[in-house]
Amino acid sequence: MELRTKINKYYEDINRKNKILEEKRREEIYDKIPEIKEIDSLIKNIALKASMEQIKNPSEERSIEHSEEIYNLKVQKTKLLEKNGFSKNYLDEIYSCEICKDTGITEDGKKCKCLQKLIVEELYDMSSISYVLNKENFDTFDLNVFSDKTYEKFNMSPKENMARILKIAKKYIETFDKDNDLNLLFWGPTGQGKTFLLNCIAKDLMDRDKIVIYQTAYEIVKTLEDRKFRNKGDEDKYNLYFNADLLIVDDLGIELVTSFTNSEIFNIINTRLLRGKKTLISTNLSPKELSNTYTDRVFSRVFQKFVPIRFFGEDLRWQ
Ligand SMILES: [Zn+2]
């Protein structure tokens, strides 16, 4: 199904569900507080009368009178609701997203957060990621899988190191909305929990309604190449690399380095930096290897804006 069709269907479904819920509430209230049913039919009659008069005498301004009458009836209705233990909004129209009233578009004509989220979910197949995120999050993170044997070179154990990193990650999330230029670069060999931790951060921020895009460097490169060379460009997908609240680039490696992908990926990261948007990167390369690989001055300037966080220890994949 095409994205636009899917999105339309999504909002139609929500609308239908909410209308059913509204109808149920109305029936419930009519049953419990019959006075409200009477008030509603009065309001309906007044409104009908007003519109009939309007048609007969378009020039006359009688609507003010009517609207005052209707207003008073509505106040009465609210009082009745509250007297019977319901919230005063109980009979209002129900929206799953109050910001755009389930249209996907905000008052100033922009894409609403709920629509952006939906697009991300569809474009990046977040349904498959959400399965992973349900397993790999801060609640399931277990410090005990890391060795508490001290590594001379680092003067601490992998477990102590991970406890330290965990604190940084939580701080990162707490200060996410601050314009503090805080970007993290997770580096170290495979199997040290880098991806697991990225998943934890992604899940936490998504739960806070942030637009998070999680991609391996390989997937990003593929999208960029499809767009550039195969004309299979999906502009929405491309633009989101720049506009998402958080872009996670997992597994940035040497094998992907061609001059094209190089400059494109760094264009994305650099643009995000300039816009104050945050990026997380994980890589098996050391900062030194990175600077050797990415010699261009732009790249070194980009990496200066990242706090390197080192992972070490035994390879957890084989335990
Ligand atoms: Zn919305």
Domain boundaries, the chain: 3-83, 125-318
Q: What does R_g of the chain's alpha carbons equal in angstroms?
A: 28
Of the candidates 161, 156, 149, 222, which has an alpha carbon nearest to the alpha carbon of residue 188?
161
What pLDDT, on a 0 to 100 scale, did the predictor assign at position 316? 74
User: How far, in Å, from the CA of 250 to the mean position of ligand 1?
Assistant: 29
163: number of Cβ within 10 Å = 13
User: Is 125-318 CATH 3.30.830.10?
Assistant: no
Q: State mean pLDDT over 184-194.
A: 91
User: How far, in Å, from the CA of 293 to the mean position of ligand 1?
Assistant: 43
The residue behind tokens 């970007």 is: 183
Q: Which helix (H) or strand (E) holds 252?
A: strand 246-252
First to last CA, the chain: 42
pLDDT tens track for 35-75: 999 999 999 998 888 888 888 887 766 666 678 888 999 99
What pLDDT, on a 0 to 100 scale, did the predictor assign at position 252? 87
As a whole number of angstroms, the distance between CA 279 and CA 306 comes to 9
What pLDDT, on a 0 to 100 scale, did the predictor assign at position 40? 94
As a whole number of angstroms, the distance between CA 281 and CA 151 comes to 25
User: How far, in Å, from the CA of 117 to the mean position of ligand 1?
Assistant: 9
pLDDT tens track for 265-297: 888 999 999 999 999 999 998 888 887 776 666
Q: Is the pTM of this model over 0.75?
A: no
As a whole number of angstroms, the distance between CA 218 and CA 249 comes to 9
As a whole number of angstroms, the distance between CA 157 and CA 148 comes to 5
Ligand 1 ion: Cβ-proximal residues, 5 Å cutoff: 97, 99-100, 112, 114
Least confident residue range of 212-216, 238-242, 315-319: 315-319
User: How far, in Å, from the CA of 11 to the mean position of ligand 1?
Assistant: 10
